[in-house]
Structure 1
């Protein structure tokens, strides 16, 4: 007797009674959008832990950003008075609403359709969110800048972003984001969440952090624009000294000169716009940080530095000799004014005489160092907003 014909692996079904192949697309009600960063938390244990760490009260109104299909929403509704869910995708908003349709919780759920960053938010007590990665930073600072910030925020972020939020001076991930967030709030890392707890799984792990904004007398009485403007200059090249970051950058000095002129005009203070003498101009040389190679400090806020040791140098000897030859610098055709030299001298005075932070690097400075730096700049009439 001949053998029965068998279908090849991966081929079409030979009979109508065989079970169809499973596929992720076939099981999804709709396709998730990468543009919105949709990764649905499917582990109920993680959802319960997030809600528990928020320490909700029965009278709390909770803001949830990106509720998705409502897995986290229903857990929050079990403990809170009301949930305000802000969702960009109309399909997801419909799914969340469907979860509580016909139940008592339906009256306690309000769904707002739109971009949370551009939406005027109603008052709320706590924020809980499985945050889309692309709005992590804007969301944090929107919450911290609210006139009446929430009591606490329990937010899930990409793990590297969460580690930057909690990084301390000297840590490799310490950056402008770290200083800004920790200046306005107390931030605690709660738990790590593996990528397999989501559908579809993202390419990186996540972490949950608790952000408790400083309220009342603890809240800094400083302009955020002023504070952040100074930090942008400090962390533009975080591995260089502050002297090189401020005095070794023509664009920074030009910006400070414009700001100083504006401050003088606002306060009816005359400025000397006459052209400086050549001797004065020649004495003002650009400060160079010789201890840092040209590549050091060139990292962006989300980048990193790769050091390569032990690599053979194959540069031809004649080319090395040519590199040693000093090329005369071309002098700028634009003559420096006395006000430009005055601003430069003010910056030097702040860094070297007042704060003595000229030789320190931004990645090693703490909150008190930056506060002293801002106070000294403001005392000299230099502002950043």
Structure 2
């Protein structure tokens, strides 16, 4: 992640956006349960939001520096930070009561890597558990914010089919503003 992008994701402005936009949506989406998987927390301001809503958060961060910083910032909390690739993480199947990924899919190296992540998350979720996420819409402003950064935009129009092809149901994709969309899906009960 480039320096300016990372600085913003650790800023009070981003924390306020999460408090006023993400937190209400998560509350409206229903109970996250007792054991939430967070994919790609970056600096961890989203982890802070999740800790307000659940008993335990397992945050998987691929960047070793960010994972170490988050781990150091959250000792003695109900968060476990794992440094690793969430698409290949070795965790128990059917463990998590919900999974989240906020504005991180576009940082993965390819659509195929994103799809592998969806399949892994599906395996890790309990039957009936939700996947909740947000990501960026491919605009010039967003592309410019990702100069010297991995940027593989997710097409919101294709996300429904991509999630369904990995086994999810009840898929909803909603554009929230000109730069972002939200999505939710559910692992079937059977």
Normalized against structure 2, the TM-score is what?
0.68
2:23 is aligned, of 45, 48, 51, to 48
Q: Could you tell me how far apart the structure 2 residues matched to 1:73 and 1:38 are?
A: 16
Q: Are residues 95 and 51 of structure 1, via their aligned partners in 2, closer, same or farther at CA, if it must alter by over 3 Å? A: farther
Q: Distance in 2 between matches of 1:121 and 1:68?
A: 20
Distance 2:180 2:39 in 1: 16
- In structure 1, the residue matched to 2:140 is none
Shift of 1:177: 2.9
Q: 1:188 aligns with which of 166, 172, 183?
A: 172
Max Rg structure: 1
Q: 1:369 matched to which residue of 2?
A: none
Question: Which structure is higher in strand share?
Answer: 2
Number of the residue aligned with 2:142? none
Q: Distance in 1 between matches of 2:58 and 2:97?
A: 11
**Separation in 1 of the partners of 2:46 and 2:72?**
14
Structure 1 residue 76: deviation in Å?
0.7
Is the alpha carbon distance of 1:72 and 1:193 closer, same or farther for their aligned partners in structure 2, counting shifts above 3 Å? Answer: farther
In structure 2, do the counterparts of structure 1 residues 140 and 150 end up closer, same or farther at CA, with 3 Å as the change threshold?
farther
SS at match of 1:154: strand
Correspondence 1:209 to 2:183 = yes
1:141 alignment counterpart: 119
Residue 163 of structure 2 contacts residue 171 of structure 2 at CA under 8 Å; is this kept in 1? no
Aligned residues: 160
The unaligned stretches of length 5 or more in structure 2 are 138-153
Q: Is the contact between residue 54 and residue 153 of structure 1 (CA under 8 Å) also seen in structure 2?
A: no
1-side partners of 2:186 and 2:164: how far apart? 15
The RMSD of aligned alpha carbons is: 3.2
> In the alignment, which of 99, 108, 115 is matched to residue 127 of structure 1?
99
Larger RCO, structures 1/2 (Cα 8 Å, 6+ apart): 2
Q: 1:341-368: per-residue Cα shift (whole Å, max 9, x none)?
A: xxxxxxxxxxxxxxxxxxxxxxxxxxxx
Structure 1 unaligned residues grouped into runs of 5+? 1-29, 167-175, 195-204, 217-385
Aligned to 1:153: 131
Query: C-alpha separation between the residues in 2 aligned to 1:178 and 1:127?
Result: 13
Alpha-carbon offset, residue 118 of structure 1: 1.2
